[in-house]
Structure 1
Amino acid sequence: MSPLEAVLVTLAGVAAGTINAVVGSGTLITFPTLLAFGVPPVTANVSNTVGLVPGSLSGVVGYRRELVGQRSRVLRLGSASLIGGIVGAVLLLVLPSAAFDAIVPVLILLGVLLVVFGPRIQRAVAARAESRGGIPDHGVWWVWPAVAATGVYGGYFGAAQGVLLMAVLGIGVVDSMQRHTATKNVLALLVNAVAATVFIAAADIDWLVAGLIALGSVVGGQLGATVGRRLPPGLLRAVIAVVGVTALVVLLV
């Protein structure tokens, strides 16, 4: 890899870390960049996952204020992310990608629609839950399996994982968008970390690529936390929708 390519990969890591801290889908920047520089697809995917783990941690640190009071929720939903991440990482290593890739655009489109119509759906969910005793702090019953399913997807590929998590949290858990963003960052970190562990043990990692992305994504995680915290709920929802639609277009094209 030439010095110029190394700089561009690092900058892609900065952009990915920034986007991941706010929404998710940073993989849509780093993954195509690596392919453009001749990194084989599977190597690019696993190296990218390993490299983005420090950036995910940086985003969690950046949103630490919004995590106050969410310990029980994060512990409960985190177990779903861990299980899902392991399953997704193993699927990447043992299954052909065609079948799974076919459903990825559908999942992203569903996530975007759920984010856009989230407030209306959440009101309906909340009203129904109130008639049955209210919504627990960790969300309605289907939030845990939905987070686990998102973890499977995140462990397998990861692009727009954050969009799906924000949709699930926004509808099934009563809290602010900024606090959902903080929770999303922790859950995505767990998925990326456990998937990276599987890949390190069983796949070929390009450690130069992973290191450059890690360096950039750590900086990006702090930038994303600074920017994301200043976005009002409506604008944050719009940003998530735009990123999700962009992800959908990129994957389809």
Structure 2
Amino acid sequence: MTIWEMLAVFAAGVGAGTINTIVGSGTLITFPVLLATGLPPVTATVSNALGLIPGAISGAIGYRKELTGQRRRILRLGAATAVGGLCGAVLLLALPPTAFETIVPVLVGLALVLVILQPRITKAVQRRREHHGSHGDPDGGPLLIAGLLLASVYGGYFTAAQGIIYVALMGMLLTDTLQRVNATKNVLAAIVNTIAATFFLFAADFDWTAVALIAVGSTLGGQLGAKIGRRLPPTALRALIVAVGTVAIVQLLLR
């Protein structure tokens, strides 16, 4: 890489770490930049996954206040996402690079619809529980576990807009604030990235320069994203998720 390419990759890492912590879809910033430096698609995907691990951890630490009292939930949901992430990593090396291109925009679009409708869905679910005298599972139950498992298969494969899908599923099936859901999302994303990247270390080619630059950049971005994201009211956070998701769909369709 030239010095200018290295600066571009570092800047992309900062941007990805920031947007991943607040919303998700940071891969849509780093991945095109890595391709522009000449890396093959699979090598770029693997290098990106490795580099974003510190950023995901940094973002989760930045949201540590909102994680209070969520240990049991994260252990349950984290186990499902870990399995899904490993499956996705295996599929990345086994399937052709274009395997998910058709379904990904559909998944992201559906996730955005759920994010928009989440307040109404939550109220409807609460009314139904009150009518039947049920409090529901505080951790979302089998439906959320299954949904996160499938979403994590995709996350281990590519990761773009993975966080948006997580927020959509948890926002619909958990009775909790959007900020606490976002905090959980950051931890789950860190788990998937770590599991997938550990597999890649032994089974795939990657570029250490790109990994290091994205790692440093995304770590800084994770802290920046936590400071911004935690101050956003639910309506603004939801609007930002929809805006970023819409851009993600357009970019995925134009690839």
Q: TM-score range by the shorter chain?
A: over 0.9
Q: Distance in 1 between matches of 2:201 and 2:216?
A: 18
CA separation in 2, counterparts of 1:108 and 1:75? 25
Tell whether 2:28 aligns with 1:12: no
Does residue 228 in structure 1 map to residue 232 in structure 2?
no
Give the TM-score normalised by structure 1. Answer: 0.98
For 2:111, give the aligned amino acid: G
Which letter maps to 1:108?
V
Q: How does 1:102-181 map to 2 (within 5 A)?
A: 102-130=102-130, 131=132, 133-181=134-182
Q: May I ask how many residue pairs the two structures share in their alignment? A: 253
Q: What's the CA shift string for 1:68-113, capped at 9, x where partnerless?
A: 0001110100011101100111000111233322111100000111
Asked if the contact 1:89–1:156 (Cα under 8 Å) also holds between the matched residues in 2, the reply is yes
Q: Matched residues in 1 for 2:188 and 2:14: separation?
A: 20
Deviation at 1:38, TM superposition (A): 1.1
Alpha carbons 1:17, 1:219 under 8 Å: kept: yes
Equivalent pair of 1:74/1:187 in contact (CA under 8 Å): yes
Please tell me whether the aligned partners of residues 148 and 166 of structure 2 are also in contact (alpha carbons under 8 angstroms). Answer: yes
Does residue 193 of the first structure (1) align with residue 222 of the second (2)? no
Amino acid at match of 1:43: T
Runs of 5+ consecutive residues of structure 1 not aligned to the other structure:
none
Query: In structure 2, what residue type is equivalent to 1:7?
Result: L
Matched with 1:68 is 68
The residue type paired with residue 210 of structure 1 is V
Change over 3 Å in CA distance of 1:86–1:132 after alignment to 2: farther
Separation in structure 1 between the aligned mates of residue 98 and residue 7 of structure 2, nearest angstrom: 32
Contact residue 129 and residue 140 of structure 1 kept, 8 A:
no
Given that 2:171 and 2:178 are in contact with CA atoms closer than 8 Å, whether structure 1 keeps it comes out as yes
Q: Identity rate of aligned residues, in percent?
A: 56
Aligned-pair Cα RMSD in Å: 1.0
Alpha-carbon distance in 1 for matches of 2:48, 2:58:
16
User: After TM superposition, where is structure 1 displaced by more than 3 Å over at least 4 residues in a row?
Assistant: none
Show the 5 A alignment for 1:43-54: 43-54=43-54
Paired AA for residue 156 in structure 2: G
Give 1:137's aligned amino acid: P
Q: Does 1:219 align with 2:220?
A: yes
Whole-Å separation in 2 of the counterparts to 1:141 and 1:189: 22
Runs (5+) with no aligned partner, structure 2: none
Which amino acid in 2 is paired with 1:126? Q
